Amino acid sequence: MLLHMLSLRSLVVVIVATSHLAARRAVAAPCQQVPADLVLHHGKVVTLDADDHIASAVVIRDGVIIAVGDEAIVARYAAKRTIDLRGRMLMPGFNDAHTHVSGDARRYIDLSAVRSIRELQAKVRAKASELGVEEWITGYGWAEDNFVERRLPRRGDLDVAAPHNPVVLTRAGGHSAVANGRALQQAGITRDTPQPSAGMIEQDAGGEPTGIIRERVDLVSRLVPAPTADELRPSFVKALQAQFSFGITSLVMADESAENWTEWERMYREHPHQLPRAAVQIHWTDEAALKAFGQRSGDGDVWLRVGALKVYVDGGFTGPSAYTLAPYKGLPGFRGTLNWSPDSLYQIAKAAHALGWQMGFHTIGDGAIALAVSVLDRVLHESPRADHRDYLNHFSMLPPDSTLATMARDSILIAQQPNFTYTLERRYQQTLEGSRLSHNNPVATPMNRGIRVAFSSDILPVGPMVGLYAAVTRMGRSGAVYGANERITMSRALRAYTSGGAYLTREEGTKGTVEAGRLADLVVLSNDLLTVSPARILTTKVVLTVLGGRVVYERDP
């Protein structure tokens, strides 16, 4: 009996002890840390959400943001890596909605940093020595505005540097180039060559070609031997990864052939989660080619997708050949050029719309803008499609009020480059005047009309800081202000450079803000863009870039 009582007492003790342990575990469970991959805290987290919420900490797991809040949330998570932001600004990664990325052939020279014609000649001379005689030399990125000589390079400049090589060097922006005598000779361009229908072969006072070709760079570049994909691929991948140093985590490739889409697929397959998210605009050739391509806008995944259909309606101001409603300053009767007749453009838009494509038309002059909007309006009314998201690339001039009204009514979007106001200041001064000059690359006006605007660089330059600076100050390189009423707030500019691009590619539900459930694409900056003086915007550096929850760029101390 005693033994039985002792056993019963022991059983009660075990039950009570077990109950106490279970109770302790129940109390402790909410305090247990949740696994996470990355925590960033002690910063100014600019979420750019609907309420402009400012936080201090972000938690990431499996490539997605799982929590955003104050410092109190940090203790709830056990992270593989924790980064102290030390008060710096964190925001969504930049989304460059119109850029160009490519690989470099062995014959190519990067001219973006060249600051004189003598320096340009030195680079050409060195490349000629490297390649040997008769080999083509190409390059990109020079701009006469950057040269101490303050003039365009000419054929004679290149002849001195490379007398035994054909040379063609494309200006920054891609709308003009300079060729040497040997290149012109091989292209059959002489004083008697008729002017192309959509461009210009510049001639000197005696009628001889100067080497400058506007818009129709292909008259010469078509002769350059095409590099193989294998030759281009390593530098192509490197150029894509270089976007991270600018804080760019997503981009829209502004122009690509349908044939080269497979190369993009290969790069993203061979470098998973190592390249910025990309939407690739496909260049229009004809309806048969579009059908043969077999895909359309939106196909793909969160890393790589097919973008809009690219159609060049007019040229650019670096030519100049942008199509304007009124003649250029100092050029009576000259209004630039159209690449398509109104009916041809309508037929293209109608065919693409019927195939389910989103359209992204290149329109720089106000005449091209007005034409493209009228064509899109006609197509959309003949065959309505909800949420089409057709858009205009560039929008470098303010079109008539009636055109703006149509864009707002039809929800036609804009991929804008506010940085052009800064970098192309002298070109606008030379070609525009009055309100056309002051409203170059309008930002506030279309936004205030309810037209969605996404920001981008068109690589002039790539980094977002120049675009942000120009958007909030409307200043050119000289410090002159162009249309103060086109200024916008920094908060508005940041949205255009993040969620604006996400909306353009129908991804606003997955990226573009710092919120739980969004892709963990983030950038940390050296300055607080919401409070820093305008002059310091241009010197703001990217400290850290996070893509899909992984740190892909860290700036050296």
| Rounded CA separation 539/551 (Å) | 22
How many Cα atoms sit within 13 Å of 273 on the Cβ side? Answer: 11
User: What is the CB neighbour count within 10 angstroms for residue 408?
Assistant: 14
User: Do residues 408 and 491 share a domain?
Assistant: yes
CATH of the domain at 432: 3.20.20.140
pLDDT score at 9? 42
Secondary structure class of 371 (helix, strand, coil): helix
pLDDT score at 129? 97
Q: In what order do the strands lie in the sheet with 108-110?
A: 108-110, 137-142, 167-171, 176-179, 209-214, 200-203
pLDDT tens figures, 137-156: 999 999 998 999 999 999 99
CA neighbor of 336 nearest in space, from 363, 361, 314: 314
pLDDT score at 556? 85
| Rounded CA separation 83/310 (Å) | 41
94: CB partners within 8 A, 6+ apart: 246, 247, 248, 249, 250, 464, 497, 498, 523
User: Do residues 201 and 73 share a domain?
Assistant: no
User: Do residues 467 and 541 share a domain?
Assistant: no
211: phi > 0 → left, psi -120 to 50 → alpha, else beta; which? Answer: left
Which two tokens mark 546?
A: 């996070």
| Rounded CA separation 470/537 (Å) | 10
Q: Does the residue 22 lie in any domain? A: no
Is the Cβ–Cβ distance between 56 and 100 less than 8 Å? no
pTM over 0.75, yes/no: yes
pLDDT score at 21? 38
Which two tokens mark 415?
A: 């991929």
pLDDT score at 31? 65
User: Do residues 243 and 361 share a domain?
Assistant: yes
Q: Does the residue 134 lie in any domain? A: yes
| Rounded CA separation 426/460 (Å) | 14
CA neighbor of 180 nearest in space, from 130, 105, 127: 127
Q: Does the residue 269 lie in any domain? A: yes
334: CB partners within 8 A, 6+ apart: 327, 328
Domain-terminating residue out of 160, 186, 221: 221
User: Do residues 550 and 457 share a domain?
Assistant: no
427: phi > 0 → left, psi -120 to 50 → alpha, else beta; which? Answer: alpha
Q: Does the residue 3 lie in any domain? A: no
Q: Does the residue 408 lie in any domain? A: yes
Q: Does the residue 348 lie in any domain? A: yes
Supply angle C-alpha 285, 289, 295, rounded to 5. 115
Positive or negative, the CA dihedral 337, 339, 342, 343 is: positive
Is the Cβ–Cβ distance between 254 and 310 less than 8 Å? yes
Question: In the block, which residue shows the tokens 């691009």?
Answer: 501
Q: Which helix (H) or strand (E) holds 137?
A: strand 137-142
Q: Does the residue 7 lie in any domain? A: no
CATH of the domain at 58: 2.30.40.10
Is the Cβ–Cβ distance between 303 and 270 less than 8 Å? no
User: Do residues 164 and 76 share a domain?
Assistant: no
Say how many domains are in the chain.
Answer: 3
Supply angle C-alpha 102, 441, 306, rounded to 5. 35
What DSSP letter does each residue of 279-302 carry, written as one string? Answer: EEEEEP--HHHHHHH---TT-B-S
Residue 264 dihedral angles phi and psi, to the nearest 5°: -60, -45
User: Do residues 351 and 216 share a domain?
Assistant: no
pLDDT score at 126? 98
Low-confidence ranges of the chain (pLDDT < 70): 1-31
Q: Does the residue 495 lie in any domain? A: yes
Give CA 538 to chain center in angstroms. Answer: 18
Domain-terminating residue out of 199, 221, 243: 221
Q: Give the domain extent around 171.
A: 108-221
Positive or negative, the CA dihedral 347, 352, 355, 359 is: negative
What DSSP letter does each residue of 302-369 carry, written as one string? Answer: SSEEEEEEEEE-B--TTTT----SSPPTT-TT----BSS-HHHHHHHHHHHHHTT--EEEEE-SHHHH
Q: Per DSSP, what are the bridge partners of residue 176?
A: 214
User: Do residues 130 and 249 share a domain?
Assistant: no
User: Do residues 314 and 453 share a domain?
Assistant: yes
Is the Cβ–Cβ distance between 471 and 488 less than 8 Å? yes
Which two tokens mark 547?
A: 């893509």
Cα-atom radius of gyration of the chain, to the nearest Å?
A: 28
CA neighbor of 277 nearest in space, from 249, 242, 237, 296: 249
CATH of the domain at 155: 3.10.310.70
Helix and strand element counts for the chain (H, E): 19, 24
Is the Cβ–Cβ distance between 383 and 393 less than 8 Å? no
pLDDT tens figures, 311-338: 999 999 877 889 999 999 999 999 999 9
User: Do residues 167 and 314 share a domain?
Assistant: no
User: Do residues 280 and 424 share a domain?
Assistant: yes
User: Do residues 423 and 465 share a domain?
Assistant: yes
